[in-house]
Amino acid sequence: MRPSSGIVHFPDLPRSPSFKQDQVPSVVRCHRESDPESELLRNSMLANTESWGCVFNSFEDFEAEYFAHLRIKMGHSRVYAVGPLSLTAAAAADDSGLGRANPNKNSGANVMTWLDGCPDGSVLYVCFGSQKLPNRLQMEALASGLERSGVRFVWAVKTGSAQQVKDGYGVLPDGFEERVGGRGLVIKGWAPQVLILGHKAVGGFVSHCGWNSVLEAIVAGVLIMGWPMEADQFVNAKLLAEDMGVAVKVCEGDNAVPDPAELGKVISESMTKETPEKVRAKDLRDRAFAAVGSGGSSSKHLDELVKELDQLKVGRK
């Protein structure tokens, strides 16, 4: 890792990526040699490359060159890509709502019925995960962009604390829901994301690019409109938009505020045109399904992992 004028370069990684300093994951950026806990975390992460093996929720066609690099770095082939795990029945059952509840009983219950009444690929899903809550200016810009775009949408808005609501975090602009009534649906609280993304009416996803959301979008074959904010999200967004060409970026940064007019334009064009990114997203979906199918790369890796672990067990008898 080589910092230069606020840009951090990684010349030894595939494609030699570069990031702004504040886009590097905080676990790296905030490391302090004088802090024992920080040093322990650093050493623990570096020790991963010396482990017996690594298992990833991903698949070869998505990150092949990075897995190849890691195998060289680790000096062996025990690097297994066994995903996307969101394709498993257990993950789908969990996202259907089993064991989880929306605190707002009247919000989101009719989302699938609402989607059933929309044309195929016409709906944009908007969600920033379970941790990030947009501030007042971001909420206003996003609401304005959606309103200007003219597209149908489902917006899952995380429920904040009383103090966060008072400060404007996660608060919709006055009158927004009334103005977009009929073509927009707001879910306040938890939303069945896998089911929404998998519905034939959904064609796009404004996302923070967290890894679970990335894989769920790939499985659904929808175009990602990325707004990375923290942690690994900038790395993920770069992989999606620049390496794979299956996404477009609409904003970057946890405090960044997009221009509503430009945001609305990007949303409208992305949702109404058959862009190259859309075509590649659908192709990547097919490759994800092939990976977990019989004879696919993820299935083979899982079989190899089980075989290796079984040999370890036999060797200890």
Query: For 7-30, what is each residue's pLDDT tens digit?
Result: 888 899 999 898 888 888 777 777
Check whether 199 has a pLDDT greater than 90. yes
Check whether 71 has a pLDDT greater than 60. yes
Contact 115, 121 (CB under 8 A): no
| pLDDT-above-90 percentage for the chain | 66
The pLDDT of residue 108: 58
Q: pTM of this prediction? A: 0.87
Model confidence pLDDT, tens digit, residues 237-262: 999 999 999 999 999 998 999 999 99
The pLDDT of residue 312: 82
How confident is the model over 217-225, as a mean pLDDT?
Answer: 96
Cβ neighbours of residue 211 under 8 Å, at least 6 residues apart?
57, 232, 236
Residue 102 pLDDT class (50, 70, 90 cuts): very low
Model confidence pLDDT, tens digit, residues 145-154: 999 999 999 9
Residues forming beta bridges with residue 226, ordered by sequence position: 207, 249
Model confidence pLDDT, tens digit, residues 267-286: 999 999 999 999 999 999 99
- What Cα–Cα distance (Å) separates residue 205 from each residue in 93, 180, 296? 21, 18, 27
Check whether 230 has a pLDDT greater than 90. no
203's tokens: 């064609």
145's tokens: 């962009």
How confident is the model over 98-125, as a mean pLDDT?
Answer: 74
The pLDDT of residue 309: 92
How confident is the model over 36-40, as a mean pLDDT?
Answer: 85
Contacts by 168-172 with C-beta closer than 8 Å and gap 24+? 168/135, 168/136, 168/139, 169/133, 169/134, 169/135, 169/136, 169/139, 170/133, 170/134, 170/139, 171/136, 171/139, 172/139, 172/143
Q: How far, in Å, CA of 45 to CA of 307, rounded?
A: 26
224's tokens: 């990602």
Structural domains present in the chain: 2-84+290-315 (no CATH), 99-288 (3.40.50.2000)
Check whether 4 has a pLDDT greater than 60. no
Residue 45 pLDDT class (50, 70, 90 cuts): confident
Check whether 94 has a pLDDT greater than 50. no
Report which of 11, 30, 8, 4 is spatially closest to residue 20, judged by C-alpha positions.
8
Mean confidence (pLDDT) of the chain? 88
Angle at 127 between CA 255 and CA 112, to 5 degrees: 165
Contact 246, 224 (CB under 8 A): yes
The pLDDT of residue 90: 41
Contact 70, 54 (CB under 8 A): yes
